[in-house]
Amino acid sequence: MVEGVLRAKFSGSMVGTAVGDAVGAGFEGRGAADSEAIEAAAAGRELLAYTDDTHMMIGMAESLVHREGFDGEHMSRVFIRNYDSEPWRGYGPGPPSVFRMIRSGEPWDKAAGKLYHGGSYGNGSAMRIAPVGVFYHDDLDMLKEVARRSSQITHSHELGKEGAALQAYAIALAINMEPVKDFDSRKFLAELYEFVQQEAYKRKLARVGALLGEADKAKVATDIGNGVEAFNSVPTAIYSFLSHPHSFEETVLFAASLGGDTDTIAAMAGAIAGAYLGVDSVPDKWRSKLENRAYIEELADVLYDVWTRKKRIK
Ligand code: F2R
Ligand code: MG
Ligand code: MG
């Protein structure tokens, strides 16, 4: 793939996460909304401020850059440092509890197991995964391993880890494809279906296939899910992309209009669409108002440079 195109896809996935998060944020926890209402709300804001989804994605990228790859101990410390400086980003209840345990001496890969029953299956480790999806897009075994290990820091339930791995895999598939007019949503979906092992995800991806082309948004939200659980939101983000593969804007507006966990579903849908279409597909009306845009774009660029350097050394 041409150097500039791949660079734009790295940036597209990270900026796509942040823009999706910011556009969906005002609607989180509510019922379904019209795309026009979401569009108007974004247009009415001077700044598109992001939430925990993007804050944690930034932490993942910072750690990958600093360590030139995955280091769980380091990543957990970056998460804690970032949380301590901006705890008001709207974090779910799990991660701050895990951070407290790690601060008190619990090992980074053991703390999360003490939450809920067998760890969290919230979507918190999938919503932040874009840097792993782009950095390991050319080594899918490593991608799966790192997605699961990074999830272990805060979301150690099998369904949490599989959600993070599935979202990373969707991003990697998207980054590896040239955008084409006749994008084959069913082929893309079939690859994801082969990738997942948990029955809960197989079932949800089968519903994604059955509902492709469905006009009734309420049916999509009910049948595939719009909740905070990874299995009720990662497949929904995938559906949002697969039903609008040629447009970042339509993908994100659709995802944010489903109600429920709108910031996170739109963040994950934006990450896949941005990885496929590149950063220039993100409408300027949103990109220009994104909080910390310059930093996020610079981070994506540095991550790309680290990936390139590592590739040359191999
Ligand atoms: N926190 C929010 N939104 C709430 C309000 C935000 C408000 N606008 C504000 O600004 O304050 N959103 C963010 O949280 C979600 C990600 O959450 P995460 O990181 O996965 O948290 P957690 O606690 O690990 O899991 C979330 C819930 O899932 C259920 N759950 C998880 N594992 C479970 C298990 N094993 N058994 C039973 N339930 C389990 C629990 O209800 C958890 O609280 C994103 O939406 C992000 O945007
Ligand atoms: Mg959020
Ligand atoms: Mg959310």
Q: Residue 80: its pLDDT value, please?
A: 98
Closest ligand 1 atom, CA of 160?
A: 32
* CA 56–ligand 2 middle distance (angstroms): 10
Give CA–CA dist 273/14, Å, rounded: 10
Backbone phi, then psi, for 229, in 5-degree steps? -75, 145
Sign of CA dihedral 290, 138, 156, 224: positive
Tokens of 120: 């969290």
pLDDT at 213: 86
Predicted pLDDT of residue 312: 78
Residue of the nearest CA to atom 33 in ligand 1?
A: 120
Of 51, 42, 44, 57, nearest to 11 (Cα)?
A: 57
| Ligand 1, CB cutoff 6 Å, lining residues | 28, 51-53, 90-95, 116-117, 120-124, 155, 157, 228-229, 261, 263-264
Query: How many structural domains comprise the chain?
Result: 1
Domain enclosing residue 115, as ranges: 3-313
Q: pTM value?
A: 0.98
**Among the atoms of ligand 1, which is closest to the Cα of residue 56?**
19
- How far apart CA 242 and CA 232 sit, in angstroms, is 16
| CATH number, position 177 | 1.10.4080.10
Q: How far is the CA of 228 from the centre of ligand 3 (A)?
A: 7
List average pLDDT for each run of 10 residues in the chain, which is 314 residues long.
92 98 97 96 98 98 98 98 98 98 98 95 98 98 98 98 98 96 96 98 97 89 97 98 97 98 98 98 98 98 96 78
Burial class (CB in 10 A: 0-12, 13-18, 19+), 50: buried
Give the distance (Å) from ligand 2 centre to CA of residue 264. Answer: 6
Q: Which residues surround ligand 2, an ion (CB under 5 A)?
A: 51-53, 90, 263
* pLDDT value at residue 78: 98
Q: Which atom from ligand 1 is nearest to the alpha carbon of 120? A: 32
Select from 123, 228, 234 the residue to mutate for testing ligand 1; criterion: most ligand atoms less than 8 Å from CB: 228
pLDDT at site 272: 98
Cα(140)–Cα(172) distance, rounded to whole angstroms?
A: 8
Indicate which atom in ligand 1 lies nearest the CA of residue 263.
Answer: 47
